[in-house]
Each structure stands twice: as C-alpha cells, then as structure tokens.
Structure 1
Amino acid sequence: MNHTTSFIGRIMTIILVFCTTSTWAQDNFLPGFYITQTNDTIRGLIHYQSWVNSPSGIEFKLESNQAIETLSPLTTREVHVKGEIWIGGTIQVETSPRAIRNLIQSPSLELSPDTAFLLVLVNGRKTLAYHRNVSKNENFYILNQGKLELLEYKKYLGPVNPEQTSPQQEIASEQLYEKEIQRYKGQLLEYLSDWYTGKEEIKSTPYSRRSLVALFKSYYRATTQMDFDIQEMAKFNHKFGVIAGVTYYQLDMFRSSGADPNLSLHPRLTKSQFTHHVGFSGGVTAEFILPRNVRHNSIYTELAYHGFTSSSYYESSNSSGEYRTEYDSQLEFHYLKLLGQYRLRQSLGKLSLYEGIGVLVNTPIIRHHETIERDVTPINTSERSYDTFKSLKPFEVGLGASLGIGGDHLSGEIRYEMGNGLSSQPGLGSLSHRASLMIGYNL
C-alpha cells in the first residue's frame, strides 16, 4: 500500500469513527409533563429533540428505567419541556411552494390535513402557534375558541392588476409577477378586535415568525395584559477562549505515487527517519453553538501557533566502505494554524463530552531546512550545505479529530491531526502527524 492510499484510508477511518460515535447523543430525556385531552397532568421525562419540523409524536416515560411511550397529538393537548409548549391537534396545512423559483400560478390555497404538535410562540389569552413541515413551509395558527385556526397566506404567480399600472405603462400579457394571498390580516383584525389602535400595525405585518411575534407583543402591551409568555427565537450562542497544550509531531517522507520506479529518488530523505518533536502549541478559539439542536452541535474555530524541529541522518558508501557520503538534515518550521471543526456534545451533568472533526490549514511563518553533505575518504573529508527541499508547499492542509470533556470554562481534549506535509518536489511525498493534549479556557 502506498502512502497516498494510506493517507486516504486514515481520513476515511477518522470520518467513520466520528459518524459512528456521534450516535451517543441520541437520548435526551428531560424533565417535563404533558396534559391529556381530559385535563390530566402527567409528569415524567420527555425525549426532547429540539424539533425543527413539527413532530407527529413525542416520546415520554415516567422514569428513566421505565418503558417509552409515544404521545399522540390526538390524545395529548399540551407537552411542556425545556420552557417550550407544544400543542397537539389536527390542522390544515398550506403546502404550496413559496420559493420564488417554484411558485405556481394558482391563487387557491393548497390545504392538506396533518396531525402534529405545534410550537407555541405566544401563550396567553391570545395564542400564536407555529408549524413547519418537511418541505420547510412555515404556517402560523391562532387558538380560537379552543381550536387551532390556520392564518391563511399564500404566494403565487399572477399578472399585474390593471389598476396598479398607469396608462403610459405597457405590460406584457405573458409576464407574471409574485403575488400574495393575505387573508391572515383579516383574521387577526377579528382575533385581536379589542386592540382598537392596532389596525394599521396588523395590516403592515408580514407573514413571518419574527413579525407575528412582534405584533402579539405590541397587542399585549397596548391592552395592558401582562399574563403572557413569548417563545423567543433560538440564537447562535458563542464562546471565546484560549487553548494551550503539548503536541507530538512526526514527519514522514516517502516516494510519492507516479515516481519512476527505476530511479532512486531522494534516498537521504525517503530512507531515513526524521526525529519526532514534542513542543508547545496554543492559540485563541471561538465556538458558535447552533440553534435548535439536540446535541448542542457547534462550529469550532481556532487560530493557533505550533512548530517543530527535526533531523535525519543518512549514509551511503561503496562496497568496501572506504568511501562514504553522509547526509545530515536539520529542519525547523513554525506555523500559524487555522482549524475549523464541527462538534457534537453530550451532557454529563455539569460537564459535557464532545467530539469534533474538521479541516485545518497550516501556514508557515518560519521555514529553515538545511542538509550538510559530507564526502568522507581515507585521505580527507569535504562538505557542502544546501536546502533540504528544492520546493515547499505554501501551506499545508489536513484533517483533525478531537475528543474532550469540559464545563462552562475549563476543558481538556486529545487530538489527532494529519496533513499533506511540506514537500512539493516531484516524486517526493510527505505526511505530517500531530497528537496533542490540550487545555482550554472559555472567557
């Protein structure tokens, strides 16, 4: 097996291990309760999935060691978990496409029945709920006389109305424009009829989560009703910190694929072993927690320094051993590394276990590589020096995986990183390997 195949194989192994072990975060039972259609309250553990699409069922168990049952929207009025309220019921869903490139010409609502749990965005005397299906269509509902009522809205393609154009304008008969059915505004005018000063604000409110929640906030403020709850939109949380640790470095040089097998290329490099290096590495970090995800998935970035020194020795001689050539190579490289990882976390009480996989780019800031060649004979010794490598890559790219444990501020992790090395000489390949033990601190 050549080194290129080995490099690809190791990358695939890391990805496979990452994908396999990421399943440890699937269970996420949190304390909560549900209310039946007969008004009974049952407390226990809810399998919280931070649902992006409205679920058709929610798993529940009374205690951690008991069997799991699936709550149905038909028999469950409300589910309360992690500060969220989910209302169950049978609803009408408007399913026509809303992306501009997919709009159709029919102005008729395309309604389809669905049985699901809806997220309550505003909970109070006037309630606003939210539904999202697998096609990413967002629909909003009001709780009117105990029933979920769809706020009707649709986008479609149609011609410009004649009254919207002036006599001087010429409109192509086949030209179509984006248009909207906005019946939800009339529904809200009736639903919020005790808001005497809100007519204009209702008429100007777009059909979006942020806008409708803001409208209901205005309603409650204007009517001096303070008994309501708002489900705020999930946001990106972020952490900034520093990280430092110890890194073990090993450089492998080899004959790269495509090299002429009849030529003896670079034996002083490919037939000698470079010494390993153990040294300091450290830098600054930024981690962005993705909103509405079960496992607290995050995007982790790091800008760090690391470096290494290494040497190799190779000797060739004639058959009698009287004449020999010695090659003494010395390397010193210092890098700025940019690392980006996708991370998964599993809560362990006040701590969390995490794993990450991502890509890295090493940019050299100091490069020194020198080989001293000595010709030794029984009579004398001569030497000369030259650059170890004829050409170097402007930067190194690679893959990095990590496994760690941490709390709110302190964390510790082990890492393995592999890069495509530093040589860009034809026929001479290289791989870099780094194993690190790192300590991090979030500010």
Structure 2
Amino acid sequence: MISISTRSSCLARFLGAVIFIFFVFSTSVFSQGKFLDGYTVSLKGDTLQGLIRYEGWDESPVYIDFSSNKTSDIRKISSKEIKEFYITSVNARYKSKKIAVLNIDLSEIYTIPPSLQSKDSAVIFLREVTSGPKASLLEYINSTSATHFYIEKDSILTELIYYPFYRLIREKKYLLLYDDYKKQLPALLSDVQPIDTKIPGYSQKDLRKYIENYNEFFGGQKQINHPQDEHDFTIDFNFNGGIEGWEEPGILLKNRLTYGFGIRANLPRRFHNRYFKINLSFIPSVSDKDIYTNYGYDTKKHTLKTLEFGSGTYFGSGNIRPFVGIDFAFPFNTWRSSILGPHAGIGLYRKFNIEVSHFANLGTILSDAPFFNKPRITLSYYLNLNQLVTKK
C-alpha cells in the first residue's frame, strides 16, 4: 500500500509539472500576434472593416496581415496599398508615410560626425501618438528598436532630429548627440505663443503633451487620461485580499484571511500581455498552535509574512483575459516551505484579477512534501502609476 501511495504521489507531481511547463511554453504562440477587429483605409479613402493581426510591433511594419472575416483567406497588405489602419481594442492607429532614413547607428564608433543627409527612403506604417486640428505626432521604430518621432503639420511630415552617437576623438570614445528637435519644435509651431516655453524631452509622454497643448489653440481636445494602447512599459501598484491555508508534515493551517500589496511591471509592444511582479502578503492574527500540529499550547498571536516574485502572461486582447504564470515565494521566519509553482486566474481590464496560486509546488518533486496544497485565492486591484504621473 505504501508503494502504491508513493507511485500515485510521484505521478501527480510529474503530471502537474508537465502540464504547467506546457502552459508556460505555449505562451510563445501568443507572442506571434492575434487577429483583432479593425479597419483599413484605402488610397481612395474607402474604409474596409475586418480583422488585423496585431503584433505589438517593436519595429515599424511595412506589411500587415488582414482578413475580412474569420473564415476568409489572410492576405498581406503593404504600406503602399493603403493610407492607414486602426485596431480598435488596443487603440492603435498606423498611417502610411514615406520617410527619409538616416543611417546613424549607436553601435558604431565614428571618426567623423555622421551625416544628417539621408541616402535611403522607405514607405512604412508610423504609429499615431496623438492628433489634432493642426498637428499630429507619429512614431517610427527602426530595426534596432530605437524610437524616432515625426510631426505632420499642413500635410508636411518632418522628422524631429534626435540621434545619439559615439565618436572617437584623440583615441577616446565620447557619446555625442544631435538634438536639433529643440530648435525644430519652436519653428514648426511658431504660429501660436506656447503656454510652456520649456522644450520637452524626447519621449512619447513629453512630446504628446507638447503637441496637445499646441492643438488646444485650434480647438483640439485636451485628453486628461489617454486610452491605454499597450505600447508603453507600465508599472502598477497592487492591493489584494483573499483566503489562504497550508498543509505539510507538521503544519496544518486552516484557511484564513490574507492581504497584501505589490508592484507589477507590464512589458510593451509584442509582449504587452506579459508581466513581472513582486508581492508581500500577510496572514494576520495567527498563533503557533494554529500552525503546528505538535507545538503545544502557545497562543500568542503574530502575523505571517510571505515575499513573492512572479512572472506570467495574459491571453488575448479583450477586456476579460485569462492569465497564467509562475511564482517563487518564501516565508519570513521559515514557518513553511518555500513555493515554486503556478498561478492562474482571470482579469478584467487588467486591473481587477481573481487569482488562484500556491496550489502546486514544483519544489517538492524530489521530496516527501505534498505536491498539491490548499490554494490561495485572492482578488487584486492594480493601480496604473503611469497614469498618475502623466496627469496634468
């Protein structure tokens, strides 16, 4: 009987590990992009509704995959065939533009300053960061994932010059910078007196704010909270509460209230569904008698603490998304074993999560501790810290 029990326990651990590893590696499929509702605008201005494969591009695309419905064939559409396309659920608008390409590479070391005269051009889809009655801000991402911005005003597209580069001077390497955009901005937008004479930093957040302030003079609407487009690296602060118990040889903690807080980092672009997190959880008002089966009768109350590191991914692009990931958690004062195991759940707007974790421990595969355990079930709320910073 002992032999059968041991085999069953090992089989449960093995199957649990295999299933979890399958889920982890299957997330790579989702990084290849999913078809989302959107539309294209032809060169003649006609709109065609359909499905567009969203890649969360970390290099500005030249082609997109388009399908008129879920059953029709997929066809590639180039930036020379349409004016623009829009993907609804991620609030992403891309416009086809012909741009001059400057070959200034930060990985190279120049003996003479690199030229700002372009030798190449390309027709490519640029992402629209913001637009208004007079000016639009567009984003170009090159093959090295470096970001450059363009202003379109009166149908004229102008690159805002910002290029760091290394130059060798007297056998020493120096980091130098072309930052002509600081002179370009006042010249391009000279038809109004700016509210803020300070030149913004070369970032999406600062340039967007600057262009929106300019557009306000011509009736443009100021956006207090920008729609989440999932292109940015974001940080969330997490509050959570729920129930948790634990069982292993010598320990039998019944389900109790747990609460905690933490930080989650959300990756951008094609990895926009993926995240890393840190969480500190508490189980309050617990005595040693409540934890240990053979401890005695000590009833002094204290708070159990567990620090947790994790990563995972959401699936899909809708408002409601399932997610799965892996955690490593270790308790303060070693009141229980450390945990290396999966978490899973479902999220609403990626702000409200119902999560189940600590139900399996991969760290026990080679030990006698139970593989499956009492799950921790929590409800979490994630506060976007980026939006707090960008509020005007």
Alignment partner for residue 141 of structure 1, among 147, 150, 154? 150
Alignment partner for residue 36 of structure 1, among 42, 60, 68? 42
> Partners in 2 of 1:200 and 1:304 — Cα distance?
47
Alignment of 1:299 with 2:240, yes or no, is no
Larger Rg: 1
Alignment of 1:435 with 2:373, yes or no, is yes
- Deviation larger for 342-351 or 130-139: 342-351
> Partners in 2 of 1:349 and 1:198 — Cα distance?
39
Distance 1:95 1:238, change over 3 A: farther
Deviation string, structure 1 residues 162-203 (Cα, Å, up to 9, x no partner)? xxxxxxxxxxx65564433333345434432313x359947x
Alignment partner for residue 180 of structure 1, among 152, 177, 180? 177
User: How does the TM-score come out when normalised to structure 2?
Assistant: 0.70
1:210 aligned residue: 205
Distance 1:413 1:187, change over 3 A: same
2:312 aligned residue: 343
Deviation string, structure 1 residues 326-366 (Cα, Å, up to 9, x no partner)? xxx99x9x953222211211259664321111212123366
1:156 aligned residue: 165
Deviation string, structure 1 residues 91-150 (Cα, Å, up to 9, x no partner)? 223342348xx6534322375544432111231221221111231322111225545432
Give the fraction of aligned pairs with identical amino acids, expressed as a percent: 17
Deviation string, structure 1 residues 289-322 (Cα, Å, up to 9, x no partner)? 61535653333424244985457xxxxxxxxxxx
1:140 corresponds to which letter in structure 2?
Answer: F
> Partners in 1 of 2:67 and 2:113 — Cα distance?
45
Alignment partner for residue 26 of structure 2, among 21, 26, 51? 21
SS of equivalent to 1:50: coil
Structure 2 counterparts to residues 174-253 of structure 1, below 5 A: 177-195=174-192, 197-198=193-194, 201=197, 204-221=199-216, 224-227=217-220, 234=232, 235-247=234-246, 249-251=247-249
> Partners in 2 of 1:54 and 1:48 — Cα distance?
12
User: How does the TM-score come out when normalised to structure 1?
Assistant: 0.63
1:126 aligned residue: 135
Where in structure 2 are there 5+ consecutive unaligned residues?
1-10, 382-392
Alignment of 1:64 with 2:33, yes or no, is no
SS of equivalent to 2:207: helix
2:4 aligned residue: none
> Partners in 2 of 1:277 and 1:128 — Cα distance?
59
> Partners in 1 of 2:208 and 2:137 — Cα distance?
8
1:97 corresponds to which letter in structure 2?
Answer: D
> Partners in 1 of 2:81 and 2:218 — Cα distance?
31
Contact 1:57 1:73 in 2 (8 A): yes
> Partners in 2 of 1:157 and 1:194 — Cα distance?
36
Distance 1:20 1:194, change over 3 A: same
2:387 aligned residue: none
Distance 1:299 1:409, change over 3 A: same
CA shift, 1:431, in A, is 5.1
> Partners in 2 of 1:11 and 1:250 — Cα distance?
18
Distance 1:186 1:442, change over 3 A: closer
Distance 1:183 1:220, change over 3 A: same
> Partners in 2 of 1:39 and 1:289 — Cα distance?
40
2:127 corresponds to which letter in structure 1?
Answer: L
Alignment of 1:86 with 2:29, yes or no, is no
> Partners in 2 of 1:432 and 1:250 — Cα distance?
6
> Partners in 2 of 1:434 and 1:277 — Cα distance?
14
Aligned residue pairs, count = 343
Contact 1:412 1:437 in 2 (8 A): no
Contact 1:157 1:178 in 2 (8 A): yes
Distance 1:297 1:74, change over 3 A: same
1:288 aligned residue: 264
Distance 1:363 1:434, change over 3 A: farther
> Partners in 1 of 2:114 and 2:222 — Cα distance?
34
Distance 1:129 1:48, change over 3 A: same
> Partners in 1 of 2:317 and 2:41 — Cα distance?
29
2:354 aligned residue: 411
Deviation string, structure 1 residues 192-226 (Cα, Å, up to 9, x no partner)? 2313x359947x444333333233234234xx112
Contact 2:280 2:308 in 1 (8 A): yes
Contact 1:419 1:432 in 2 (8 A): no
Distance 1:350 1:219, change over 3 A: closer
Contact 1:73 1:90 in 2 (8 A): no
> Partners in 2 of 1:51 and 1:137 — Cα distance?
12
> Partners in 1 of 2:105 and 2:16 — Cα distance?
40
CA shift, 1:31, in A, is 2.6
CA shift, 1:38, in A, is 1.8
SS of equivalent to 1:435: coil
1:326 aligned residue: none
> Partners in 2 of 1:434 and 1:199 — Cα distance?
61
CA shift, 1:14, in A, is 6.8
> Partners in 1 of 2:16 and 2:69 — Cα distance?
41
Distance 1:229 1:40, change over 3 A: farther
2:254 aligned residue: 279
Distance 1:142 1:95, change over 3 A: same
Contact 1:156 1:178 in 2 (8 A): yes
Contact 1:240 1:287 in 2 (8 A): no
CA shift, 1:85, in A, is 1.7
**What is the CA RMSD across the aligned residues, in angstroms?**
4.2
SS of equivalent to 1:127: strand
